[in-house]
Amino acid sequence: MARQVFAVIPAAGHSRRMGQPKLLLPLGGITIIERVVRTLFDAGVTASVVVTREEDQALAQVVRQTMAHLVQPNPAPSQMRESVWAALQWIEAQFHPADDDGWLLIPADHPTVDVAIVRHVIAAWSATPERVTLPTFGGRRGHPTIFPWGLMSDVGQLPADQGLNQLVRRLGPGVQELPVNTESVLWDLDTPEDYQRIVQREE
């Protein structure tokens, strides 16, 4: 039986540095959030969960039109770790994953990661499902990152002042780095300059 991979897409930020809702910006004829969801669907994940703030109704409306599930915690998450934990709890309740299934983390503002990279990371993780697997470019770690489902409880037990990066660092040799030949695994979307750079590279 093939292992399941559930995608977690934190999307509860405020886009302050962008100055407008960055996940609703167009890229390749669709919005940023639609692009991320479509990439994951085409890569073959079992299900995708997008976590937004309740008051972000414009984003929620777009998410509802995709193949993804929408989760809106109350109170709204103030950190990415809280968004991830809300998504994991929802997935646990709906799908009851096995410990050797996986969950894939990709922040919603990483729209340039392509289907081939996601499939590559999933395939590498499937060969060693007890390890966290992530892509690297030039020695720098990027996204998406796949965690064994058995680490779900570790996320819930993280101290309030620690994020998922601390969990990954703590695992040390339990992390499999996967060198790739595209810098897109490092690109995120925070500022208008980031957006223009990504649009130009897409043209």
Position 1 scores a pLDDT of 59
**Minimal CA–CA distance to 118: which of 36, 175, 62, 200?**
36
Give the SS3 label for residue 56.
coil
Residues in contact with 61: Cβ distance below 8 Å, sequence separation at least 6, in sequence order: none
Is the residue at 176 inside a domain?
A: yes
Is the residue at 167 inside a domain?
A: yes
Is the residue at 203 inside a domain?
A: no
Return the percentage of the chain with pLDDT > 90, whole number. 85
Is the residue at 31 inside a domain?
A: yes
Q: Name the residue range of residue 115's domain.
A: 5-198
Q: Residue 184 has which token pair? A: 């897109």
CA distance 5 to 23: 23
CATH number at residue 127: 3.90.550.10
Q: Tokens 């984003």 label which residue?
A: 59
Over residues 49-64, the pLDDT tens digits come to 999 999 999 999 999 9
CA distance 5 to 149: 9
| Helix or strand (DSSP H, E) at 16 | none
Q: Residue 60 has which token pair? A: 């929620």
Half-sphere exposure of 85 (CA within 13 A, CB side): 20
197 DSSP 8-state letter: H
Position 163 scores a pLDDT of 87
- 8 Å CB contact between 19 and 191: no
Q: Taking 90 as the threshold, does the pLDDT of residue 174 lie above it? A: no
Over residues 88-145, the pLDDT tens digits come to 999 999 999 999 999 999 999 999 999 999 999 999 999 999 999 999 999 999 999 9
Residues in contact with 169: Cβ distance below 8 Å, sequence separation at least 6, in sequence order: none
Is the residue at 160 inside a domain?
A: yes
Return the percentage of the chain with pLDDT > 70, whole number. 100
Q: Please count the structural domains in the chain.
A: 1
